[in-house]
Amino acid sequence: MADAKVIPFDDDRSRGSAAQRPARRRGSGARRKDGEPVPVREVQPLPAGDPPAQEEDPVNSEGQPQEAPQHPEADTMGTSGTSGTLGGGLERRIAGGLAFLRRRLTGEYEVDDFGYDAELTDQVLMSLLRPLYEKYFRVDVKGIENIPSEGGALLVANHSGTLPLDGLMLQVAVHDNHPAGRHLRLLAADLVFMLPVVNELARKLGHTLACTEDAERLLGDGELVGVMPEGFKGIGKPFSERYKLQRFGRGGFVSTALRRGVPIVPCSIVGAEEIYPMIGNARTLARVLGIPYFPVTPTFPWLGPLGAVPLPTKWTIQFGEPIPTDGYPPEAAEDPMLMFNLTDQVREQIQHTLYKLLVQRRSVFF
């Protein structure tokens, strides 16, 4: 993997190879099914007097006996009605949570060759990101139907915001809004996999190093892969250049899509530019720390940790019409002019959509 060509996020070369992939772990995956027995209804004594008339069996239009209607709530609702349903649901959630903890402690769960943990992502990580997505940034999603329901596809988006929260919100947007509940596998810069804790979380969420080998393998497996070609040049640009796309590298993502014959889906994100308005860059301090930039915002570093809280801007994510690549011959991936034209087409489509969304936006925060 160390010999793989890196899809450039900017003009800088990758500083390292991918982190060692964790071995695939498989478990039995057995799940315990919990359910409540139907409570026996208490029989009330009949009043004294004539016995009640026997009810005739209901018949349908064809004269055949009609079966009694079945209630789906019968296995969860007792004599207390709704409270029985709520109690059963709570018990099932508790049982599911205990089963989840048991699998984590015993190692009976599975990760793929890239370290992606689907169960942890669905049940824990997505749940932690969802309040930020729904309540804080209040993300609106448009054009989700442009993402294929199955098969490989390459999603290309703009990158901004000083910290890469846009990638995380993009993952939630795809998973929660797509009818098939697809997972977005993001290609990340090597710096992500050099940071402790962040490295492990990124792997669990399905992120992998932005190199040609990993990207082609994921696309070949039918995965939805996301890339933000602006890289650090986009996420670390000054606030005065907001929503102005930076250079899209050398078009490595187009070459990857051509080799696999998968569609390219342009994506435009509005709202991320204003969460940390970057008004300065302490370059000397950034070189000392070994990071691409050290942001200076109206609140950071002046307010300390409080200055790291993002502003609650209103976001819009729009997915554009896919650009097909399956009609090109295999050798088209080596044609530099074709790669330049397709890269420029994707970039222009994203930039045009950004301008259109900005005109439609009423306010940064509403």
Mean pLDDT of 114-125: 94
C-alpha triplet 317, 243, 311: angle, nearest 5°:
70
Mean pLDDT of 55-61: 47
Query: Range with the lowest mean pLDDT among 3-17, 140-154, 184-198?
Result: 3-17
Q: Using an 8 Å Cβ cutoff, are 262 and 154 in contact?
A: yes
Residue 298 CA to residue 274 CA, distance in Å, equals 11
Residue 229 CA to residue 231 CA, distance in Å, equals 5
pLDDT of 20 above 90: no
Residue 266's SS3 state is strand
Mean pLDDT of 337-344: 93
**Between these two residues, 261 and 5, which has the higher pLDDT value?**
261
pLDDT of 12 above 90: no
Two tokens at 347? Answer: 């970039």
Q: What pLDDT does 32 receive?
A: 43
Q: What pLDDT does 86 receive?
A: 57
C-alpha atoms less than 13 angstroms from C-alpha of 125 in its C-beta half-sphere: 21
Q: What are phi and psi of 312, to 5 degrees?
A: -80, 70
Mean pLDDT of 357-366: 94
Average predicted confidence (pLDDT) for the chain: 82
pLDDT of 7 above 50: no
- State the virtual CA torsion across 103, 105, 111, 117 in degrees, nearest 10: 80
Residue 275 CA to residue 132 CA, distance in Å, equals 12
Q: CA 147 → CA 97, 339, 340, 355, distances in Å?
A: 32, 22, 23, 22
Q: What pLDDT does 87 receive?
A: 64
pLDDT of 203 above 70: yes
Give me the DSSP letters along 110-163: -B-TT---HHHIIIIIHHHHHHIIIIIS--EEE-GGGS-SSS-EEEEE---SSS
Q: What pLDDT does 105 receive?
A: 86
Residue 362 CA to residue 284 CA, distance in Å, equals 38
pTM: 0.75
What is the band of 175 on the pLDDT scale with cuts at 50, 70, 90? very high
Domains of the chain: 76-106 (no CATH), 118-275+310-360 (3.40.1130.10)
Mean pLDDT of 223-247: 95
What is the band of 103 on the pLDDT scale with cuts at 50, 70, 90? confident
Q: Which helix (H) or strand (E) holds 289?
A: helix 283-289
Q: What pLDDT does 84 receive?
A: 53
pLDDT digits (tens, 9 = 90+) for 269-286: 999 999 999 999 999 999
pLDDT of 30 above 50: no
Q: What pLDDT does 143 receive?
A: 97
Residue 153 CA to residue 320 CA, distance in Å, equals 13
pLDDT of 26 above 70: no
**Between these two residues, 247 and 5, which has the higher pLDDT value?**
247
Number of Cβ atoms within 10 Å of the Cβ of 86: 13
Q: What pLDDT does 107 receive?
A: 83
Mean pLDDT of 308-331: 95
Residue 41, by phi and psi: left (phi above 0), alpha (psi -120 to 50) or beta? beta
pLDDT over 90, % of the chain: 67
Mean pLDDT of 58-66: 49
pLDDT of 79 above 50: no
What's the one-letter identity of residue 88? G
Closest CA to 155 of 70, 72, 229, 92: 229
What is the band of 95 on the pLDDT scale with cuts at 50, 70, 90? confident
What is the band of 293 on the pLDDT scale with cuts at 50, 70, 90? very high
Query: Range with the lowest mean pLDDT among 71-80, 99-108, 142-151, 205-214?
Result: 71-80
Closest CA to 164 of 293, 56, 41: 293
Q: Using an 8 Å Cβ cutoff, are 311 and 275 in contact?
A: yes
Q: What pLDDT does 250 receive?
A: 81
